[in-house]
């Protein structure tokens, strides 16, 4: 009897291990996740470019399992957090290294300093503009067709995937509000500039649609006027956000929401949603302690006033209490900040976090 019980115990143990293995191998909510954006989500595409906008050195990645990868943070980015929540067992690879079967789970095309406009960020050197990222995606689609055998199979596959697009920050930070390098600030009012940006943005979204994208997540532009860089340069006390910049961003975000409504009306077989990054940041800045933050106006790593004059220097020693800082450097959130945006984009805590639905519900459609 004791021997039989021992056998049963061994069998039960094996079954339990198999169940745990099966759970670990569970399929993600969607077959693939494609990412377009700038330094907020770049995970290595700029590493091989002649660019000042690179982060493939310590202390960047100090808290990331793979060390410095090109991510502009101490750890995970917003899309890394979303990928985890969607059930992917690894992060989405950058376009520069993605190949073979790997592309079937998605590709990250994001490039630091990139904008909607072609000239945006050019003072920093090489970058892959939104238009260039969409072209790279078109190349990927050709590879997906080859891997799956025909266009119908590829279209059906891609229609189930999530597409994350976060563009516009650099069109303000490294264009409109940089009069020494760009004339857009004198050419356009903030209202006109937002219209020009969204016309070009919409054109690229329509190309993504033509190449199979049906579930698109648009991330609104965050509160650039509250970044350590802008506080260092334009805030009288180093803590009051720069309102003229935030006002222009709000105009863009409001028009982006209207674009989401328009696209959802025009494309019945697609769904577009908008993540209110600006509003979520506003909550954090208004009540930092509620989110576990102690410092919201200074970078954990950087140089000068607010650690906001330039980004982290190679091998610079960052602050030890990184989870208490909203910003990692002059422009980019810490992993702790990214985690809040990512979690609320995936599962909205308030109706305004993600409009009209969140990523979790979008994945289920």
CA distance 55 to 48: 11
Cβ pair 71, 338 in contact under 8 A:
no
CA distance 220 to 78: 13
Give me the catalytic one of 63, 80, 171, 329.
329
Query: Nearest CA to 72 among 82, 62, 83, 86?
Result: 62
CA distance 104 to 158: 9
**89 part of the active site:** no
Contacts of 4 (CB under 8 A, 6+ apart): none
Give me the catalytic one of 227, 235, 332, 353.
332
Cβ pair 44, 97 in contact under 8 A:
yes
**265 part of the active site:** no
Q: What is the DSSP letter of 162?
A: E
Give alpha helix (H) positions in 211-276: 228-234, 243-266
Give me the catalytic one of 39, 169, 235, 354.
39
Beta-strand runs (E) in 10-106:
33-36
**323 part of the active site:** no
* Catalytic residue ranges: 39, 329, 332
């Amino acid at each position: 009897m004791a021997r039989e019980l021992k056998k049963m115990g061994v069998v039960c143990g094996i079954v339990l291990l198999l169940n745990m293995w099966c759970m670990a191998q569970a399929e993600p909510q969607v077959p693939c996740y494609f990412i377009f954006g700038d330094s907020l989500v770049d995970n290595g595409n700029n590493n091989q470019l002649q660019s000042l906008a690179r982060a493939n050195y310590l202390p960047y990645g100090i808290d990331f399992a793979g060390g410095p990868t090109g991510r502009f943070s101490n750890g995970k980015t917003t899309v890394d957090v979303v990928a985890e929540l969607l059930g992917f067992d690894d992060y989405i690879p950058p376009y520069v290294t993605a190949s073979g079967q790997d592309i079937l789970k998605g590709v990250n095309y994001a490039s630091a300093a990139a904008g909607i406009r072609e000239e945006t960020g050019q003072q920093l050197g090489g970058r892959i503009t939104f238009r260039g990222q969409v072209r790279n995606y078109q190349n990927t689609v050709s590879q997906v067709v080859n891997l799956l055998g025909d266009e119908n199979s590829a279209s059906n596959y891609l229609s189930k995937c999530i597409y994350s697009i976060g563009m516009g920050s650099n069109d303000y930070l490294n264009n409109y509000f940089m009069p020494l390098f760009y004339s857009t600030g004198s050419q356009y009012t903030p209202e006109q500039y937002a219209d020009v940006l969204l016309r070009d943005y919409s054109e690229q979204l329509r190309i993504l649609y033509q190449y199979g994208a049906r579930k698109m997540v648009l991330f609104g532009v965050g509160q650039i006027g509250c970044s350590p860089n802008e506080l260092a340069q334009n805030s009288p006390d180093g803590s009051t956000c720069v309102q003229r910049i935030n006002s222009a961003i709000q105009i863009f975000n409001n028009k982006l929401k209207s674009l989401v409504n328009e696209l959802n009306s025009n494309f019945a077989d697609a769904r577009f949603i908008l993540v209110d990054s600006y509003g979520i940041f506003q909550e954090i800045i208004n009540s930092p302690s509620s989110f576990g933050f102690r410092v919201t106006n200074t970078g954990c790593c950087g140089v000068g006033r607010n650690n906001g004059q330039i980004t982290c220097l190679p091998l610079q020693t960052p602050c030890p209490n990184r989870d208490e800082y909203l910003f990692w450097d002059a422009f980019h959130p810490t992993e702790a900040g990214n985690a809040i945006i990512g979690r609320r984009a995936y599962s909205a805590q308030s109706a305004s976090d993600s409009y009209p639905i969140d990523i979790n519900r979008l994945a289920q459609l």
